[in-house]
């Protein structure tokens, strides 16, 4: 039999929303697995710092300024990566917004801003990457979703709607592109401890509330998310497409 291959040598990965949090750590994890990484976000200064850290650790990286609300800019950025590296094998669609609003307090601008990034921007990033990947005959697209796109979470009406859309979009793209060499999947984490979530998760009352819904007994780490992303990006994940991989400590099992 052939043994599973999780290595990413000779692969080129793009991570959107890479200037902080989960995206930052995903970029470093992909580089550690052997991929050349293009880190993309609006904050070019942070991206340059991340790229320099990856290079200092022996990896290959470039920084690309990108706002996923700018459809033409997405295509230009991805073509820049393709020209620079000569390939574009993996897209991790990580750019996203999160907010807590009671449904009765959601404004039109709240809705439009989150959908513009979490769903509209993600789709057009898939489209731009997909065009390159379909032309070369191979590729992996991994969309960052959430457990909130699978089960309802109070005060997350807009966020849950956007991530539910990500999940079904992932399935449709997998149906259209899998037989042409491009797999499309989503990773749906639970609460992940990052500098951005620390303000809430460091509060004992809030953490207790979260842990009461997590049978595994702890919140997630960025390494937990990276493990799922690397699996789906690697040759070992070649048979998986159209799947939403929950990294949720059994939150949605109840």
What distance in Å separates the CA atoms of residue 136 and residue 181, rounded to the nearest whole number? Answer: 9
What is the DSSP-derived secondary structure letter of residue 118?
I
Spot the catalytic one: 159, 193, 206, 231.
159
Q: Active-site residue 159, yes or no?
A: yes
Task: State both tokens at 101.
Answer: 């609003």
User: Are 66 and 42 within 8 A, CB to CB?
Assistant: yes
What distance in Å separates the CA atoms of residue 213 and residue 128, rounded to the nearest whole number? Answer: 38
Q: In what order do the strands lie in the sheet with 244-247?
A: 61-65, 36-41, 12-16, 90-93, 139-144, 182-189, 244-247
Cite the active site residues.
Answer: 159
């Amino acid at each position: 039999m052939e043994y599973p291959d999780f290595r990413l040598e000779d692969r080129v990965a793009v991570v959107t929303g890479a200037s902080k949090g989960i995206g930052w750590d995903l970029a470093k994890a992909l580089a550690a697995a052997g991929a050349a990484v293009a880190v993309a976000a609006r904050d070019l200064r942070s991206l340059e710092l991340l790229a320099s850290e990856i290079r200092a650790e022996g990896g290959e990286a470039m920084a690309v300024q990108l706002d996923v609300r700018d459809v033409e800019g997405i295509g230009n950025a991805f073509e820049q990566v393709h020209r620079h590296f000569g390939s574009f094998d993996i897209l991790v669609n990580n750019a996203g917004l999160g907010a807590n609003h009671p449904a009765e307090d959601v404004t039109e601008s709240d809705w439009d801003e989150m959908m513009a990034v979490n769903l509209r921007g993600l789709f057009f990033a898939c489209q731009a990457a997909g065009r390159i990947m379909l032309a070369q005959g191979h590729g992996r697209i991994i969309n960052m979703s959430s457990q909130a796109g699978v089960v309802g979470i109070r005060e997350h009406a807009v966020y849950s709607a956007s991530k539910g859309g990500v999940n079904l979009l992932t399935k449709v793209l997998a149906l259209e592109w899998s037989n042409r060499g491009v797999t499309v999947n989503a990773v749906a984490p639970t609460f992940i401890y990052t500098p951005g979530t620390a303000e809430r998760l460091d509060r004992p009352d809030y953490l207790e509330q979260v842990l009461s819904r997590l049978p595994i007994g702890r919140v997630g780490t960025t390494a937990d998310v990276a493990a799922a992303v690397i699996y789906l990006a690697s040759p070992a994940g070649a048979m998986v497409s159209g799947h939403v991989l929950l990294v949720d400590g059994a939150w949605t099992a109840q």
